[in-house]
Amino acid sequence: MITTMTEGKGPVKVEVFAVSCAKCRRAEQVVITAVAELPDIDVEVEKKQDLFELKERGVMANPAVIIDGEIVSQGRVPSLEEIKELISKADLRRKSKP
C-alpha cells in the first residue's frame, strides 16, 4: 500500500484490481506514477488480487481501478492524465464536503 499525506479530509482511496497480466501491471504502474505526480493530494493506493472481491464489487474485467468506491476503469489501462484527473476530482469532492 502506498500512502502520501498532505493537508485535507483524509486520503483519496485508490484500489487497483490487478492480477498478473501485462495490462494489470501497466494499470498499477500508471496509478503509482499519477500519485507521484500529485504530491499535494492525500492518496492511499491498495493493490487487490482477490477475484471473488472483484466480482462482488461489480467489476467485470481486469484490470480495474476504483477511486473512493467508484469503478472508474475496467478492462483497459487508463491513461496517466485520466487517472490524475480522476484523483484530482475525488480530492476536490472530499475538500468540498462539510
The CATH code of the domain at 2-96 is 3.40.30.10
Q: Where are the domains of the chain?
A: 2-96
Give residue 28's pLDDT. Answer: 95
**Residue 27 and residue 82: Cα distance in Å, rounded?**
12
Helix, strand, coil % (nearest 5) of the chain? 40, 25, 35
Residues taking part in catalysis? 21, 24
Write the pLDDT tens digit of every residue in 11-54. 999 999 988 889 999 999 999 999 999 999 999 999 999 989 98
55: which DSSP letter?
H
Give me the helix-helix angle, 80-96 and 22-36, nearest 10°.
Answer: 50
pTM: 0.86
